[in-house]
Chain A
């Protein structure tokens, strides 16, 4: 079992729709969770961080965390073509010294 799992996609959504990106992790003691956006050929850019169960909203982005289910998700409302990118889920595992473990990323395509 991979430590951080994501569906590689591509996930295709029409412009204006809600995109839902999912991530599961294996270490139940994980404390911090991050979503990064990565455009093709570019470096990861931080979108959201979440530390507590529940929802965290920032503009069109909402991160959701459920530690009991070991599940974290990212919702993108009113999806735009500029949101087309790979979204990386990263987990800071217990005792990891702030080491992030990344999933393989989900490719999102927002279609006109």
Chain B
């Protein structure tokens, strides 16, 4: 069964450092999403891509976060500089229609 791939699975970094996460969606899924989930809360959308174009990045803190999906397939989410409050699970999801399927996530700890 096709799955969304993410790496790394865990990342520990110090504040003010740069960090990057990678996502490979299910083959053929045109829409890709990055969510952030803080412990005890539901996932919150950071950015949504349709192919290589950004559809919604209204909740992305653009002073420190950036996301790209250059060829409309895999995607990278970057944080620079990382802050203590960025510690969370970063989830990637993809969809071909309405149903979104999540990858395993990257758990980020900022020290």
From known contacts A88-B42, A102-B43, A105-B42, infer whether A44 and B48 are also in contact, taking CB-CB under 8 Å: no
A36 to B106 CA separation, bound complex (whole angstroms)? 18
How far apart sit A46 and B101, CA to CA, in the bound complex (Å)?
A: 7
Residues on the B chain within 8 Å of A32, using CB: 98
Cα–Cα, bound, A32→B98 (Å): 8
Question: Count the A residues whose beta carbon is within 8 Å of the partner chain — how many?
Answer: 23
Q: Is the interface of B mostly helix, strand, loop or mixed?
A: strand
Report whether B41 and A98 are in contact in the complex, using a CB–CB cutoff of 8 Å: no
* B67-110 near A? 1/0 per residue, CB < 8 Å: 00000000000000000000001010001001111111101000
State whether A97 and B48 are in contact (beta carbons under 8 Å apart), knowing that A44-B91, A88-B42 are contacts in the complex.
yes
Q: Write the A35-63 contact mask toward B (1 if CB under 8 angstroms, else 0).
A: 01000011111100100000000000000
**Which of the four size classes fits the interface of chain B?**
20 to 34
Which residues of chain B from 43 to 83 have a CB within 8 Å of any chain A CB? 43-45, 48, 55-56
A residues less than 8 Å from B103 (CB atoms):
43
Measured between beta carbons, the chain A residues less than 8 angstroms from B91 are 43-44
Q: Report A's interface with B, CB cutoff 8 A.
A: 4, 8, 32, 34, 36, 41-46, 49, 88, 90, 92, 97-100, 102-105
